[in-house]
Structure 1
Amino acid sequence: MSWTKVVAITGCDSGLGWAIAARAAREGLVTIAGMYNGSDTEAARALKNLCAHPYKLDVTDSKSVTEFQNYVKNVLQENPKYKLYAVVNNAGVMTVGNYEWQTPQMIENMINVNLLGAMRVVSSFLPELRKNGAINDFKPRIINVASHCGLQALPCFGPYSASKAGLLAWTRALHLEHFRDGLSVISFIPGGFIGSSNLTMNQVENGNKMLSHLTEEQKSIYEKRIRTLNKYLGQASNNTRYDSLSNEVIIETFVKALIDNKPKQVYKVEPWRYKFYYNLLKMPFPDIMYYWIIKKFLAFPDSE
């Protein structure tokens, strides 16, 4: 029997999530797009025009995840030839700043969205995907969107790096638990695209919260650095549209992870700049040299 493949993707409001949902729909897959801002936005309407199914989803809320799961289940039940083929955990948040600057809420939110959110979603869909692994030549999969920060921790990205490193470790464990079921669990590492997403959209607001959170002693040391960094990062996502991501290398690499008949465990986009610096960071340099290399790589404005 020929099955119509259904893909559920989280974090589709903008950037990478919107781009891969749009591309999955164009590939002819029945695409269900989880959207934090709901289904009545310009981004959602654009996906509807591509015959995707936008649906409100907050991966930090178990009730919202269950409602999303039920929506997918209803789509499957109403169309007997549909089968759940892939779940893509793309929803992610990032706050940039030294660990000492960040509030407990910022730290917990990154772990809650980037790692625990993915776990909630997978827990909802895993039994169905595992069962579908027994279908001949169907080859279902889970794709977790990770980050180079999960491979190499960077200053100012501590909690974010921790969430993505945890995601990579869990993805590997999940793959080993289910490859014999015919279910692939894949890490997708897309490389940098901050200027084409809303990842830093709340950076200025969070920067102000950092300053309110600090003691006077901490402010005397860090305030200038925080204000300089937040001004720089705030400009990175100014006027970013939901469909701003147009990097074909990132999108085509994701498509391979989505449709390859024999998928790899990791799909990674590594521009030459990433490759150069990350290879340098593997060398046995003293800490001061590592710090200098990372400063050159990040290219943040210097206010020290």
Structure 2
Amino acid sequence: MRVVAITGCDSGLGWAIAARSAREGLVTVAGMYNGVDTKAADGLRKLSAHPYSLDVTNPESVACFRDYVKCLLNDNPNYKLHAIVNNAGVMTIGDYEWQTPAMIESSINVNLLGTMRVTTAFLPDLRKSALESTGPSKPRIINVASHCGLQPLPGFGAYSASKAGVLALTKALRMEHRRHGLSAVAFVPGGFFTSSNIIARQGAHGNAMLEHFNEEQKSFYGKRITALSNYLQSATRHNAGYDSLKDENIIETFVKALMDDNPKDLYKVESWRYMFYYNLFKLPLPEAALSWLVKTFLKFPE
């Protein structure tokens, strides 16, 4: 039996991939930031997954998560560690100058350092599992990245930096552990704002940005911040259910990253709109033309 440990499973992508992993018959340990006494956790239990409290910013919490997985492996000799999936993530949208130090540090601490903490905790066991593996399917680390890590965008500076770091880490891990039969994979799921709570606190973040500003900044940026917060709140679904992500293309692409015998370095979900714009962004265009394309793609209020 293959064991998979996934972080950030309270809702959206994390819950969906944990549920699918369990349905595929893998022993699935789901890290839950909001704890295990939630409807999301109950939903995963019904699928025979193992919800476990996890805060990826807390080294002790990460160690307990690893110890729980190790106990499962020790108590069940037929279990083998197959994958860790670093999915836990946060996002605050807004120009870099707008964001408070806490917002910037949270993006790095959760998205990048959280991925590093969990990877560090599990690497010895994953490497051992890879060296002992006799089957065709390689053990692996799957890191959830983003198109913003591949192509930074205005309003996503800290988030883009964190996800670019995740992509760089993944490439390095893949090269370091190829000789051991352990693979590292980046999974880019594309946009799913309306099926996630990842920017559910954007309104509160907008208020915090304004409170953090001096009077000159409030006068200069205030209307733009308010307009962006209102736009994002109207464009996204409020309090999306924990099981609201239904995009089969995203889920099936993840299954390939999880189950392919020889996984690729990158699995990317890209709608026609994303493909069109991101390919244009790669062209050596004049800066004014690139700026116009980015504004057209984002459609943020001015």
Q: Tell me which interval the TM-score lies in, with the shorter structure as reference length.
A: over 0.9
> Deviation at 1:239?
3.2
Residue 298 (1) aligns with residue 298 (2): yes
Counterparts of 1:222 and 1:295 in 2: how far apart (Å)?
17
Matching residue's letter, 2:272: W
Q: Which residue of the other structure, out of 9, 13, 17, is the alignment partner of 1:16? A: 13
> Deviation at 1:74?
1.2
> Deviation at 1:237?
3.3
Gaps in structure 2 of 5+ consecutive residues: none
Q: Percent identity?
A: 65
What's 1:219 paired with?
218
State the Cα RMSD in Å: 0.8
Residue 73 (1) aligns with residue 88 (2): no
Gaps in structure 1 of 5+ consecutive residues: none
Counterparts of 1:64 and 1:217 in 2: how far apart (Å)?
42
What's 2:273 paired with?
273
Counterparts of 1:290 and 1:15 in 2: how far apart (Å)?
32
> Deviation at 1:148?
0.2
Moved over 3 A (4+): none
Counterparts of 1:234 and 1:61 in 2: how far apart (Å)?
30
Residue 95 (1) aligns with residue 92 (2): yes
1:86-142 per-residue CA deviation (whole Å, 9 max, x = no partner) reads 000000000000000000010000000000000000100000000111211251000
Counterparts of 1:221 and 1:15 in 2: how far apart (Å)?
35
What's 2:142 paired with?
143
Q: Is contact 1:188-1:254 (8 Å) kept? A: yes
> Deviation at 1:202?
1.1
Q: Is contact 2:200-2:239 (8 Å) kept? A: no
Q: Is contact 1:85-1:140 (8 Å) kept? A: yes
Alignment of 1:93-132 (within 5 A): 93-132=90-129
TM-score, normalisation: structure 1:
0.97
What's 1:196 paired with?
195
Counterparts of 2:299 and 2:194 in 1: how far apart (Å)?
14
Counterparts of 1:116 and 1:181 in 2: how far apart (Å)?
24
What's 1:167 paired with?
166
> Deviation at 1:234?
2.3
What's 2:207 paired with?
208
